[in-house]
Copies of this chain bind each other. A is one copy, B any other.
């Protein structure tokens, strides 16, 4: 067994029901020395986009060989396949419904996807309503213990990839949208630092600035630089452009929602 096997869990189960605790019971029965970290159980029910974003922007903060289990699965028990993804020295286990699309994109060079069929490792042969417990947990525990991925099924190449909302490049603007709002009301967009940098390289003579609802939004280096009550922007710790209000809830104050347009616009 690996000395310190590490498993993360990302689900839409919430923490009031015992679903998450039970998955941990199953994991620790098979891999008693595993460390289990909750990445998030607050994904809104069946919200595949939010789940894909959560795992896709955060797995890289865990050590190599971490096993990431994601259970956000509107089609549980149907023909939808359980998969094991090996990518960038991490393992990912969950349903084949596009939830790992960010991972596929970032780790395209090292990607392998296995259709999990080895039902001898499952808690039950048939799992009508709780594959997290009966399929993903026992498989994750065995991967964490070091069992080779070829034991779980055969490689596939027709796994499901979802379209991720990408910013659109126009002549004078990069047009993105709000993709996540956190507990503090900070509004993360899908515009990445690297895309802003490319824009600058393409148009060395121009300056690009964030705009929201036709108004320029001042770009700051960190939250505390902003004046109180003013809507500002920052490149956040995940390297995405984000709208915020210092010490206040931007989403509430400015009624910002997921999907709202944010642009990087060329200076007139």
Contact = CB atoms under 8 A, between A and B. Distances in A.
Interface stretch (A57-65, A100-108, A205-213): A57-65
Interface in A92-141: 126-130, 133-134
A61 B247 contact: no
Given A15-B42, A18-B58, 14 more contacts: A4-B33, A15-B40, A16-B183, A19-B182, A28-B37, A46-B247, A75-B223, A75-B224, A76-B222, A76-B224, A126-B221, A129-B222, A129-B237, A133-B237
Interface of A is mostly: loop
Contact of A222 (B24, B128, B182): B128
A39 to B, nearest CB: 4
A41 interface: yes
Contacts of A134: 237
Interface in A215-247: 221-225, 234-237, 242, 247
Interface in A56-88: 58, 61-63, 66, 74-78, 80
A3 B1 CA distance: 15
A159 to B, nearest CB: 18
A35 to B, nearest CB: 6
Interface stretch (A6-14, A166-174, A255-263): A6-14
A133 to B, nearest CB: 6
B28 A40 contact: no
